[in-house]
Amino acid sequence: MAKLKTSFYCQNCGTNFSKWLGQCTSCKQWNTIVEEIIQKEEKQAWRSQSSENKKAPKPLKINEISTSEEVRLNTTDSELNRVLGGGLVPGSLTLLGGEPGIGKSTLLLQISLRLPYKTLYVSGEESQKQIKMRAERITHQSDNCFILTETKTQNIFRQIEEIEPEVVIIDSIQTLQTDYIESSAGSISQIRECTAELIKFAKETNVPVILIGHITKDGTIAGPKILEHMVDTVLQFEGDRNHVYRILRSLKNRFGSTAELGIYEMQGSGLREVSNPSEILISNKENYLSGTAIATTLEGMRPLMIEIQALVSTAVYGTPQRSTTGYNLKRLNMILAVLEKRAGFRLGAKDVFLNITGGISVDDPAIDLAVVAAILSSNEDITIDKDFCFAGEVGLTGEIRPVNRVEQRIQEAEKLGFSTIFVSKYNKITPQDYKIDVRLVAKIEDLVQELFG
C-alpha cells in the first residue's frame, strides 16, 4: 500500500498549504481551503512502454535548433482560425472557457464533425446518445469523428492508442480524474494532474488537444490559475444568452495575437460564422433618430463599424445618472467633463446613458469621437446623417487626437458605403486619395460646426 499524504489547497487560487487555515493568504478568500489526499506513487507517463525506452532530451545550441514553421491544422472555421492565429498548432493545448449554455460544446462538436482529420471527442458530461442528438441537429455527418464518454484519463489514453486520432477534444477538464490522485474530480490537484498528463501526451505525439473549462461566478475559469499558465492558448466564449450572437476572444496565445475576435450567430442548426460583423453591429432602420453615431474600431486585424447610442435627458431626481453598456464609465465621465469645460455644453445636470449595440465591449479610444457626436446629437435632438462615421480620440484639452491604422478604418467605411468620415486633422493622410469624403477636425468645436452648423 502506497503511503498517503494529506495536503491542503485553496479552491479559489490553488495555493498549497501544509495545514488548514481559515483565510487563504494568497487570494484573501475565507473558507476556501480544503484537505485533499494525494497518493505518493511513482507516476507513469501516458504511454509507459514507449516512455521507458525513450532517451532523455539533450540540450542543443540555439543555432542548431530548426526554425522551420509548423504547418497548422485548418479547423474549417474561419472565425476560429482567425482567433487562433491561422489554425491549430500540432502539439498545442487550447483551453476554451465560457458560461453554462453559451455554446462551448456545440462549437467544438460542430468543428469536430467538420474536421477532415481523425478526431476523438471525449465527453464526461453527456452520453453518446445525447451527443448524437446534438450532431443530428447540427446536420453535419462525419466518418472521422469518434465519440467517447469517459472520465478516467488512463482509459482515455488507452483508447487514444487504439484509434490514433489527429485531434483530441475534452469536454470538460473539470470532469476528468486520474488514478494517481485520490481526490474527487474537479478538485485543484485533479485538474492540475490531468492537465499535466494531457500536455505530456500532446508534446510527445504532436497531437493538438482542445479542453473545455467551466467558469466560476466571477467569470474566471474554474480551477487553479496555474491551469491557464500550463496551456498554450486560452479562449473565452462570451455573449448574452438572451441574444443570438456569440463572441470568441483570445486571452492568451503563444502562437498568435490576442487582439483577434471571432463572431458567431446561434441558430437552431448550430453556430453560424459572421464574416461581416457590421451586419449585426449597425441597426438597419430607414429613419435614424437623434443620439446615434457610427464609429470605426479595430479588433486585431479586423475593422468593425459599430453603432453608438446615447440618451441625454434632464435629471429628475437632482443627482444626474451616468450609465454605460459596453463602454468604460470613467472614460464617459472624462468626455462629459471635456464637453462642459472646453465646448461649453451644460451636461452636469443631465442624465447620460450610453450603449454600444450588438452586446460587445470596446476599449478602442478611436470611438471617442463617435461617443461625443452621439451625446451632442441627443442633447441637441438633431439627427446625424446615417452615412457619416467617426474615428478619433478625444484629449483632455478638447483636441481630436490621431488614431492608429486610420487608412484601414477609412477603407472599411468606404467599402461599406459611408459617404463621409470624420478623422483627426493630425493624421498624416491625404483626403484626395480616397473616394469617401474625409473631413479633418482638430477640436470638438470643429466637429460641432461640421455637424450642427
Q: What is the CA radius of gyration of the chain?
A: 27
CB-based burial of residue 219 (10 Å sphere; 0-12 exposed, 13-18 middle, 19+ buried)?
Answer: exposed
The secondary element (H helix, E strand) that includes residue 312 is: strand 302-314
30: number of Cβ within 10 Å: 10
User: Do 397 and 360 contact (CB within 8 A), yes or no?
Assistant: no
Report whether 118 belongs to an annotated binding site. Answer: no
**CA 421 to chain centroid:** 29
Q: Are β-strands 393-394 and 4-10 bridged in parallel, bridged antiparallel, or unpaired?
A: unpaired
What is the Cα 179 distance to its own chain's centre? 33
99 labelled binding-site residue: yes
Question: Is 100 annotated for ligand binding?
Answer: yes
Ligand-binding annotation for 105, yes or no, is: yes
Q: Which of 352, 350, 360, 344 is nearest to 274 (CA)?
A: 360
d(CA 183, CA 167): 28
Q: 98 a known binding residue?
A: yes
d(CA 390, CA 410): 9
Identity at 308, one-letter amino acid code:
I
415 assigned binding-site residue: no
DSSP string for 137-177 = HHT---SSEEEEE--BHHHHHHHHHHH--SEEEEE-GGG-B
The set of cell numbers assigned to 286 is 430607414
The three cell numbers of residue 358 are: 450588438
Q: Give, as one character, the DSSP assignment of residue 298.
A: E
Three-point CA angle 65, 68, 72, nearest 5°: 130
d(CA 33, CA 16): 9
Cell of 117: 482529420
Whether 252 and 228 have beta carbons less than 8 Å apart is answered as: yes
CA distances, 373 to each of 171, 377, 393, 403 (Å)? 46, 6, 12, 17
- DSSP conformational letter for 372: H
101 is in an annotated binding site: yes
Q: Whose grid coordinates read 439627427?
A: 383
Residue type, 29: Q
Residue ranges of the annotated binding site for ATP are 98-105
Residue ranges of the annotated binding site are 98-105
